[in-house]
Structure 1
Amino acid sequence: MALTVIGVFDNASQARQAVENLVDAGMMRQNIDLSLQSDLTADYGNTYSTTNSTHMDDDKDTGSSIGNFFSSLFGNDDDADRYTKATETGSLVTVHAQTEDEAEKAADILDEAGAVDVNERTPVYDSLTSQPSASMGAAFTDTKQPDGDQTIKVIEENLEVGKRIVETGGVRLRSRIVAKPVEESIRLREERVSVQRNPVNRPATAADLNAFQDGRIELTEHKEVPVVSKTATVVEEISVGKDVTERDEVIRDTVRKTEVDIDDTTNSMKPKSDGDEVTYSTK
């Protein structure tokens, strides 16, 4: 059950401090509305419209946005007028609570922050309001729900896991020719003809006389020179290929879904008597 808690403050600093105290107590900031003296009408021209239908007589002035807002909350013209007059010179803090415990906690925080007791100032507004109701400082009330059927959409997220190929690396082979100096040792043989003349003094013999005629002797020199040639030999083979492996991987994530709690409030929905009020005081 949604509840709306309101607190009226004499000055803006108290109202701001009350908002900070509410947030420090764990309440969500988006559920808290702060309207200062200078912008009450502008703020509640937007804010009160979220409270759905208003409870006002046909002859009531509908030109006041703040009055309409309080009328939609209280349904009691006296209480609505009292709070409307109080906020003309004060600042307003509105808390949209989700549970009654949260509403009571918010009301206590607003009271501790200095929320004024509107009915203590009833004499100031007596000429403008009817009979006073019970004493109240920060007050909370049921938020009116629209007539007709309402729907809560149940949404559930599902995890879908697919695959895509990404590049993780690779190998590139590039060949080039490089030259480097080498050296080898080899032994070479070389011939040289030498002529040796020896002086002699002896009588010629018959052999010497037989050889005493024209003649020629030739002797050829030889030497070894290096002969260079090259041979090519395959010394290594480099191959490129792929090895493919497969593995199982567990994907972990979080999915959300809507859960709806259904409370049967049949016994608590009995009609209220004319003296019943939907606004409760925390004081």
Structure 2
Amino acid sequence: MTQTITALFDKPAEAQAAEAKLVAAGIPQSAIRLVQGAQTARTSGSYDYHKDEGGFWGSLKDFFMPEEDRYAYSEGLSRGGTLLTVQTEQAQMETAYDILEQNGSVDLDQREASWRKEGWSGYSATDDAAAGMIGSGTAAGTAGSAAYASVDRTAAGATTGETDYIPVVEERLNVGKRVAEAGRVRVRSYVVEKPVEEQVTLRDETVHVDRRPVDRAPTAADEALFENRTIEATELREQAVVDKDARVVEEVGIRKDAGQRTETVTDSVRRTEVEVEDERGNVSRTGATDTATGTTPRKPI
């Protein structure tokens, strides 16, 4: 069964954030509607729905809500609030309530009490009679404000009558993971020079002119020496020749090993407890342990 939940927000950004989270929770965008209030918030007096300045009263005519709620929501819109309505299945109602509360939905009963202290006249049955609107519609599953908005329980199969609820709020610990740098290793190469020495043996040839005295008779070969003749010799000297070649002697690289570790996260969460005591002396608590089963009921009341 589809239910309609209505909530009032003081800031448009809060309503938009709630809308985004409702969509993320699986509720279709087409099932959500936002009504923007006055750009300049009114801080005194009461909204005159007869004049309907800003069209707030008329904009709520299709929401099928009780006239007292329509009157209050029109007042909230005239004060700069933003109205959000969402149609959701029964299975998603609690999720929708939680999202609306977490994003700052207004407790309409408390807000009405605050407005009355400021001079707001509030809703009365004579307003409907004057406008000819008594019996003009039914609250078919319309919800009010805050975490547990005032849903018309008749549509959901509950008994008729006015019921007040105290929400039991419980924090949940959500542990996620993020990647953080624990240190960085950088490998780079650069060029350095160092002096080196090598020993090399070199050979030198030197030419000397030798003279020696002789006294002998010339031979036939010596007779030819009277012709012009030249002899010569070249001195040779070895020189060191330097050449260099590059050799890869080592490789340096980087590799990563991945491991896993288990870390225990310790924190505390809060929870509200509700105690119910009637005049007969019966007491029940939301955190009480069921003596028959030894378990703690989630909602014993």
TM value normalised by structure 1: 0.38
TM-score (norm 2): 0.36
**Which has the greater radius of gyration?**
1
Higher relative contact order by CA 8 Å / sep ≥ 6: 1 or 2?
Answer: 1
